Amino acid sequence: MNKIAIVGYGTTKFSREEIPVESLLLNATKSLFDQNPNLNQKDIDAVLVSTNDNTKYLSAILSELAGIQPKTAHTVESLCNSGTNSVVSAYSYIASGLADVALVVGAERRNSPGQILEWDNSRGEFKHPIFWGTIFTKAHKRKFGTTEEDLATVSAKNHKYAHDNPNAYSNKIYSVEELMNSKILTDDLKVSDCSRPCSGASAVLLVSDKVVKKYSDSPVWINGIGQKTLSASFTKNQDFSSMSSTREAAKIAFDMSHLDPIDIDIAEIHDAFTVCELMAIEDLGLVSKGNGAKFVKTLYETEDRKINPRGGLIGTGHPLGATGVAQIIETTQQLQGTAGKRQIENAKVGLVHNMSAAATSSTVLLLQS
Amino acid sequence: MSIFEVELKKGKFVIPECLTCKDVVWPPSDYCSLCFGKVNWRKSDGIGKILEYSKKGNIFFCLAEFEKKIRIMGTLQVYSNQPEIGKKVKLDTCKVDGRNYNFTMTLV
Ligand SMILES: [Zn+2]
């Protein structure tokens, strides 16, 4: 099996602007080409687009706009973890020998139709994501004594780190107290607990070890992949204070890479809501169950950027199809030592956690320099 | 439209039960998700228990489980007693509103 590395990336800024999805895709692709002078359109065997936008045939459209005539081109949709799913697909094409060079571009526009799962009628009229966010939060509070201050600390940390990310949606720093006073959505959820939809696109270039030297002196290797889908219905989660799809995906990824949670230097976590960051770091085994809040508080107070250095979904914004790809870019920059102000010293092993629809499915990737 | 929705439109909550393995199938479907057996639609007693709840403004909403299998979210009518985990609820009204279902429950 071929080994697969990430050798290039490009991104747009994440913003509130309403931008056509085709432009977003092209802008991220242009940014990738601009930063990778050794890459020629003719090199690319596969173009995969990750989005929940309903627009048809987007990978062929992007290929045409970018002057690429790939062998393989198609869209990957899996709600909020479309991004990592498309990277896993690209990985598989390369690992199997069907491709040597694959371009993955994730994009979403702010008013994308893909943000609510209409199918899940078990949620009744409570289909908006804030309601599963509320149930998760209430259950975590009940089981582990998580407080509003704990949740606001996650949000304060991620806004603070996003301030050093020029592509982030948010550029404001808030105190824990300010966030605790933000608008109340439900008894268990405030505006400050939520990531927000926005427009944005991110692109990565994956290649096989056979051709890696042509594109990069500092490739980042994908050494672990774990995925699990439990259901499509939020209500099928057995326990609402933990994410079992994340636990299962993590186990698979750690087994594949022969790594352990203790090896992780930097983790990009899917903080769709503040409680998700706490649940995920617990279920990934980065801390023991119930100790997520204490851990995050220490990170915040010591300015340790180990978890969500780019500002998470809460600080950076959540353009669904782009999110997983953007998480991979941040991890790549950290492992290459090019994350600037956000750089974690001597980072060697990175984890990406990307999930969909109230953790009914999860992807965990392990990357190494 | 599925039998489930036809009945739900009339305000009736019917449950698909597998003719072969007798498992309750949820979400509603024409075939059993365990054995692909055909389902029979039967009435439910509509009595469930609260798994979790919260409040938006003055309105309680909850996630409740019926027939040890069927989990749905709905508005929870609260009169005197306060909701608690494990407390019994009765499914009061079911509606179909466009593409959305709409459930109201009351504390028993
Ligand atoms: Zn059956």
Residues A162 and A298 in one domain: yes
Is the minimum CB–CB distance between A139 and chain B shorter than 8 Å?
A: yes
Same domain flag for A132 and A266 = yes
Could you tell me if residue A140 is inside a domain? yes
Kindly report, residue by residue over A141-155, the tens digit of the pLDDT: 999 999 999 999 999
* pTM, two decimal places: 0.97
A100 and A142 both lie in a single domain:
no
Q: What's the total number of domains in chain A?
A: 2
Confidence band, pLDDT 50/70/90 cuts, at residue B100: confident
* pLDDT of amino acid A1: 76
What is residue A157's predicted lDDT score, i.e. its pLDDT? 98
Q: For domain B47-107, say whether CATH 2.40.50 is its number.
A: yes
Nearest to A270 by CA among A169, A195, A191: A195
**Chain A contact probe: residue of B5, B52, B96 with most A CBs at under 10 A:** B52
Q: How far is the CA of B28 from the centre of ligand 1 (A)?
A: 13
- On whether both A255 and A279 belong to a single domain, the answer is yes
**DSSP string for residues in A310-339:** T-HHHHH---HHHHHHHHHHHHHHHHHT--
Contact B102 A127 (CB under 8 A): no
Q: Kindly report the CATH number assigned to the domain that includes residue A34.
A: 3.40.47.10
pLDDT in tens, A232-261: 999 988 899 999 999 999 999 999 999 999
Residue A175 lies in a domain: yes
Question: Domain boundaries in chain B?
Answer: 3-43, 47-107
Do A320 and A173 share a structural domain? yes
**Residue A115 falls within a domain, yes or no?**
no
What's the mean pLDDT when you consider all of chain A? 96
Is residue A190 located within the same domain as residue A203? no
Strand (E) or helix (H) holding A198: none
Q: A118 vs chain B: nearest CA distance in angstroms?
A: 7
- The residue ranking higher by pLDDT, A367 or B4, is A367
- What b-and-e string marks burial along A45-61, b requiring 16 or more CB atoms within 10 Å of the CB? bbbbbbbbbebeebbbb
pLDDT digits (tens, 9 = 90+) for B5-26: 888 888 899 999 999 999 999 9
Mean pLDDT of chain B: 93
- Of A344, A88, A349, which Cα lies nearest the Cα of A225? A88
Could you say which of B56, B71, B85 has the minimum Cβ distance to residue A235?
B71
Q: Which of A116, A130, A191, A235 to mutate to test the interface with B (most CBs of B within 10 A)?
A: A235
Cα dihedral A341, A344, A348, A353 in deg (nearest 10):
-90
Q: Identify whether A119 is part of a domain.
A: no
Q: How far is B4 from chain A (nearest CA, A)?
A: 12
Q: Which domain holds residue A32?
A: 4-110+198-219
Partner residue opposite A134 with nearest CB, options B27, B54, B97:
B54
- Nearest CA to A75 out of A102, A47, A99 is that of A47
B-contacting residues in A 110-129 (Cβ below 8 Å)? 118, 120-127
For residue B45, the distance in angstroms to the closest alpha carbon of chain A comes to: 18
